[in-house]
Amino acid sequence: MYKNILLPTDGSALSDVATDNGLKFAKAVGAKVTGLYVMIERQPESFEDYAPVAVKAPKLDEVAKQEADQYLKVITDKARALGVPCETYSMKHASPHQAIITMATQTGCDLIVMASHGRKGVTGELVGSETARVITSCKIPVLVYR
């Protein structure tokens, strides 16, 4: 059946639900999990143009990395508690859906378990834009929680 399940997270409540269920499923089928947090790659000058005080990109990168570590630690701790083998990665990418597909491919994942919506919130859509892009662009099966 499945051997390696990708659990992309953005730290949202719905992402936590998808992660929890993905971990339970992994335990049931004897799979390992790969946790992923995508840090959005932005152009530094775009912040300086709009911020009242110039925001330096290194500071934003540091905050994003701390956030990534925090969310991935949650996955690691939950996986350990269930006895599910787990690896985690954070990566910087301008396109979260491309990062998810790339990581799934590079790590040999055979299933992606993800939330239907991220932290941007539910705007009346059935499926969020990044999730929809993963579903339509990826050859790996995707299990979506909503």
Rounded to 5 degrees, what are φ and ψ at 90? -120, 145
Write down the domain spans for the chain: 4-145
- CATH (residue range 4-145): 3.40.50.620
Predicted structure pTM score: 0.85
| pLDDT for 144 beyond 70 | yes
Q: Which of 34, 104, 101 is nearest to 72 (CA)?
A: 34
Question: Which tens digit of pLDDT belongs to each residue from 18-48?
Answer: 999 999 999 999 999 999 999 988 665 555 5
The yes-or-no verdict on residue 11 having pLDDT over 60 is yes
pLDDT reading at 126 higher than 50: no
